[in-house]
């Protein structure tokens, strides 16, 4: 199938204006059939009558194409493109086709719920998958009104972007929408459970599978409350009401992405309907995603980027506003802590890889390459840069510019230049230079404190040195906080250290780094003559996107400071900087394990606890330390988690996070404990051994070689759910058994029937630390076989499979050489190339870290 190029899209947009689509879908046989019928009527104009173009469709069978009353030959279809010749000024096109349901989360996905056998349909049209559902000009700047009718089985609920009503039997009709890009087209159908509400004149709906109804009902009021609060806050910030009538949120099965901002019908992966105990971190993440998708109603839906080179106009803004509005409008006021440690780490990793790209690249060649830019740069880095911009311009100027932007381009398309013009006008600042270094240039700067002490032990001078990698030698303006943190003292006796462990902010100064005037070395005169604290923290407050380093005294003090640092945002920044040091091979992996083991015993913030455990166990202990040192590293981390578990309040989120950490780090000596948890013989008080925690334990037992295939089958019989099926697939692949590994690998490279979720679960379970000898033959097979797999897997699936099936625990020079040899192939699929290149970068870091041990 041809990928639409930027030049082709520009030429077609110059030629056409699409007025409307009417899409009629017949899914009445969905319970038994693999196909559905799609009939599209498109009305469009042509600026140069007599010219030619094409329309996209990916059918099983194309039955009929009629242009302006003239029947065209269906055999003219070339891949996914049907040629349209000798266009009139005004055109009506009718296309009737049989389409395939998807098992890959693209187009109209069909899912059979293992819990009850019910069938569910849910559409995913992004990035260019609407053509799997109906014939369309599948590019973002040919927006059109969309009207949908659906024939479905009797008893099903159907929802779409517009407001709907049920006619006779299973016939549903939906009102035409305001102009939308094709990638936002959505319909769901099935025996969905629905909850409804209304706020400020806006109808609200929540949908989920019937088997999740009880779980949705438990959280419905929280979900509606978050939705109401976010709507109110966006109305305050933007001054423009939500523009698409109803606001439905559907939690759909086997969804590829976290969520999708379909106007009027936002789709979420249904794991966000919590069926088991979760921490506040998961609830906070869900609230942020709700806010993120709602921000898209303005950024993306009301005003749409012209082409995918301006993806940041969608995702960076939604990311920034998702965290901001969640923190401002909901109970999850600590959202920025989560952003500072976990989310920004994603951005930092992406921006330092060979695949890095500008937030707003000058050009994105085609839709296949555009999909690859849905990454930590377009989301986390872009949001960080916007947070810096808001700090520089101020809220009033920033939002005044956004309001002007929305009003000028409502229901149309816009570009980077359009937005910069609006913000420049509202702020009175020329943003050209800012945009050039922040949006058009890739990679990340590093900020280091340069400290000199005087004879009295006080700061004689403090400067901030900014550097850039040789590959991208660009210095940038930054606004940062410089914080001095010190052990709290007794107010009645300032010379006595406070008896409790408490490192607090003593003073903070905000400065601007301007390499045009300071050459990359910025003095902090306010600190001259100040007594040093226990920690000098750059980027205090997390206003910019930059890696930070510590001065020598702060580095030495980290083991005693981190457990005692009171402010969670400062603690998150300090942990993030320590993680960067070990990833950059500037801190020995064993030293980080020691630091993490000490810090985890005292950590009270669930978000920080989770991220530190994930990095310490998943990256450092399993990849960065040598295999001989791995058991001791995991034992130290498991002991820290066991200590935190014993001290956490029963039933608390911290108790659950500590339990998960202990399971993740568990070694052979912990098998008896995990078995006792499963049996209920020694489950900690307040810890719910629900389905998700049971599967987590079973997954670790499988990797340790203490779980039989029969036990996996028995657990799946106990938890016959979609999540249960995925967990069972991962457990089967994780067992250190040659037969199990062979079966799993056959699924990864050959299976064409499993859903993308079960395929990826198998790949995720396949590679395990401490199974290097067993899986050694498959290292070479990945590099030999995956290129051919990429020729027939879909782009969305290959993007994930290239990552999850990569031999991440084969940390050695031969694997690195094999990976680089595959990447050197000129015929390598671009999607696999990007995924494998990113994993190869991470592998090179792991190899470098091991050299320090």
Dmax (CA) for the chain in angstroms is: 93
Q: Where are the beta strands (DSSP E) in 407-564?
A: 412-414, 446-453, 459-467, 478-487, 489-490, 493-497, 503-513, 521-523, 535-538, 547-548
- Six-digit token pair at 95? 């296309």
Cα(670)–Cα(634) distance, integer angstroms: 11
301 to 125, 296, 367, 601, 767: CA distances (angstroms): 14, 6, 19, 46, 40
Cα(319)–Cα(231) distance, integer angstroms: 16
- Six-digit token pair at 422? 């609006």
Angle at CA 111, nearest 5°, toward 109 and 116?
160
Cα(567)–Cα(483) distance, integer angstroms: 12
24, containing H or E segment = strand 16-26
567 to 68, 275, 615: CA distances (angstroms): 67, 32, 21
Three-state SS string over 350-387 comes to: HHCCCCCCCCCCCCCCEHHHHHHCCCCHHHHHHHHHHH
Contacts of 821 (CB under 8 A, 6+ apart): 783
Cα(454)–Cα(556) distance, integer angstroms: 20
- Six-digit token pair at 478? 């930054």
Residues 516/522, Cβ–Cβ less than 8 Å: no
Cα(153)–Cα(293) distance, integer angstroms: 30
Catalytic residues: 293
3-state helix, strand, coil in the chain (%, to 5): 45, 20, 30
Residues 732/744, Cβ–Cβ less than 8 Å: yes
Contacts of 753 (CB under 8 A, 6+ apart): 103
Cα(210)–Cα(111) distance, integer angstroms: 13
466 to 219, 387, 444: CA distances (angstroms): 47, 19, 10
Task: Please give the torsion angle defined by the CA atoms of residues 583, 589, 592 and 593, in that order, rounded to the nearest 10 degrees.
Answer: 130
First-to-final CA distance of the chain: 48
Task: Please give the torsion angle defined by the CA atoms of residues 96, 99, 105 and 110, in that order, rounded to the nearest 10 degrees.
Answer: 110
In angstroms, how far is CA 461 from the centroid of its own chain?
A: 41
Residues 176/263, Cβ–Cβ less than 8 Å: no
Buried b (16+ CB within 10 A) or exposed e, 291-326: bbbbbbbbbbbbbbbbbbbbbbbbbbbbbbbbbbbb
Residues 172/187, Cβ–Cβ less than 8 Å: no
Pairing of strands 493-497, 489-490: antiparallel
Residues 543/388, Cβ–Cβ less than 8 Å: yes
Residues 630/621, Cβ–Cβ less than 8 Å: yes
280 to 46, 568, 841: CA distances (angstroms): 53, 15, 33
DSSP 89: S
Per the listing, tokens 């992004």 go with 126
- Six-digit token pair at 769? 């630390």
107, containing H or E segment = strand 107-112
Neighbour tally for 841: CB within 10 Å: 17
């Amino acid at each position: 199938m041809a990928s639409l190029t930027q030049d082709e899209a520009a030429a077609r947009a110059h030629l056409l204006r699409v007025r409307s689509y009417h899409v009629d879908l017949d899914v009445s046989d969905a319970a038994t059939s693999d196909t559905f019928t799609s009939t599209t009527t498109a009305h469009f104009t042509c600026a140069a009558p007599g010219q030619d173009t094409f329309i996209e469709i990916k059918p099983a069978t194309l039955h009929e194409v009629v242009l302006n009353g003239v029947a065209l030959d269906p055999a003219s279809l070339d891949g996914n493109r049907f040629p349209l010749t000798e266009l009139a000024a005004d055109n009506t096109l009718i296309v009737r086709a049989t389409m395939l349901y998807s098992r890959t989360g693209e187009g109209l996905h069909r899912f059979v719920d293992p819990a009850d056998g019910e069938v569910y349909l849910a559409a995913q049209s992004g990035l260019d998958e609407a053509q799997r559902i109906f014939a369309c000009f599948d590019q973002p700047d040919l927006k059109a009104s969309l009207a949908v009718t659906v024939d479905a089985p009797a008893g099903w609920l159907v929802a779409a972007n517009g407001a709907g009503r049920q006619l006779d039997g299973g016939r549903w009709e939906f009102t035409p929408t305001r102009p939308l890009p094709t990638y936002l087209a959505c319909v769901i159908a099935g025996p969905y459970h629905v909850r409804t509400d209304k706020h400020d004149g806006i109808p609200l709906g929540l949908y989920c599978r019937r088997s999740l109804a009880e779980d949705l009902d438990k959280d419905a009021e929280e979900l509606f409350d978050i939705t109401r609060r976010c709507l109110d806050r966006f109305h305050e910030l933007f001054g423009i009401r939500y523009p698409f009538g109803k606001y439905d949120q559907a939690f759909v099965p086997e969804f590829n992405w976290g969520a999708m901002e379909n106007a009027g019908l936002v789709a979420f992966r249904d794991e966000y309907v919590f069926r088991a105990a979760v921490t506040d971190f998961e609830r906070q993440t869900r609230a942020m995603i709700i806010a993120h998708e709602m921000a898209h109603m303005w950024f993306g839906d009301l005003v749409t980027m012209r082409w995918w080179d301006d993806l940041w106009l969608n995702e960076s803004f939604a990311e920034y506003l998702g965290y901001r509005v969640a923190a401002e409008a909901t109970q999850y006021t600590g959202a920025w802590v989560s952003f500072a440690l976990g989310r920004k780490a994603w951005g930092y990793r992406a921006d330092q890889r060979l695949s890095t790209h500008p937030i707003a690249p000058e050009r994105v060649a085609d839709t296949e390459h555009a999909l690859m830019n849905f990454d930590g740069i377009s989301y986390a880095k872009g949001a960080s840069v916007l947070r810096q911009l808001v700090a520089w311009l101020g809220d009033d100027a920033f939002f005044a510019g956004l309001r002007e932007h929305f009003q000028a381009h409502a229901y149309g398309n816009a570009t980077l230049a359009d937005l910069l013009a609006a913000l420049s006008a509202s702020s009175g600042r020329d943003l050209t230079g800012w945009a050039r270094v922040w949006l058009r240039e890739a990679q990340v700067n590093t900020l280091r404190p340069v400290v000199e002490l005087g004879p009295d032990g006080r700061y004689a001078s403090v400067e901030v040195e900014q550097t850039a990698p040789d590959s991208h030698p660009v210095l940038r303006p930054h606004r940062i906080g410089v914080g001095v943190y010190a052990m709290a003292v007794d107010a009645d006796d300032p010379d006595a250290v406070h008896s409790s462990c408490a490192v607090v902010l003593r003073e903070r100064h905000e400065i601007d780094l301007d390499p045009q005037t300071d050459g990359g070395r910025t003095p902090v005169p306010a600190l001259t003559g100040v007594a040093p604290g226990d920690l000098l923290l750059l980027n205090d407050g997390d206003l910019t996107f930059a890696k930070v380093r510590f001065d020598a005294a702060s580095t030495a003090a980290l083991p005693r400071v981190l457990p005692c640092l009171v402010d969670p945002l400062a603690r998150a920044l300090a942990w993030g900087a320590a993680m960067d040091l070990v990833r950059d091979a500037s801190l020995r992996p064993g030293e980080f394990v020691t630091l993490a083991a000490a810090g985890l015993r005292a950590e009270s913030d669930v978000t920080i606890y989770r991220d530190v455990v994930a990095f310490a166990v998943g990256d450092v202990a399993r990849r960065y330390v040598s295999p001989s040192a791995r058991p001791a590293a995991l034992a130290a981390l498991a002991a820290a988690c066991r200590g935190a578990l014993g001290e956490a309040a029963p039933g608390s989120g911290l108790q659950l996070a500590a339990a998960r950490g202990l399971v993740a780090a568990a070694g052979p000596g912990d098998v008896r404990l995990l078995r006792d948890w499963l049996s209920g013989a020694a489950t900690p008080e307040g810890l719910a051994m629900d389905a998700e925690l049971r599967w987590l334990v079973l997954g670790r037992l499988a990797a340790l070689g203490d779980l039989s295939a029969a036990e996996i089958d028995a657990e799946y019989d106990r938890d016959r759910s979609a999540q249960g099926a995925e967990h069972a697939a991962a457990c089967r692949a994780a067992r250190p058994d040659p037969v199990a590994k062979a079966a799993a690998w056959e699924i990864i490279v050959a299976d064409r029937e499993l859903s993308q979720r079960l395929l990826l679960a198998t790949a995720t379970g396949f590679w395990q630390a401490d199974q290097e000898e067993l899986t050694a033959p498959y290292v070479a097979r990945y590099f030999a076989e995956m290129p051919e797999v990429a020729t027939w897997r879909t782009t969305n699936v290959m993007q994930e499979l290239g990552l999850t099936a990569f031999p991440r625990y084969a940390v050695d020079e031969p694997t690195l050489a094999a990976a680089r040899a595959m990447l050197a192939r000129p015929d390598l699929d671009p999607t696999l190339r990007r995924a494998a290149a990113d994993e190869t970068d991470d592998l090179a870091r792991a190899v470098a870290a091991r050299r320090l041990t």
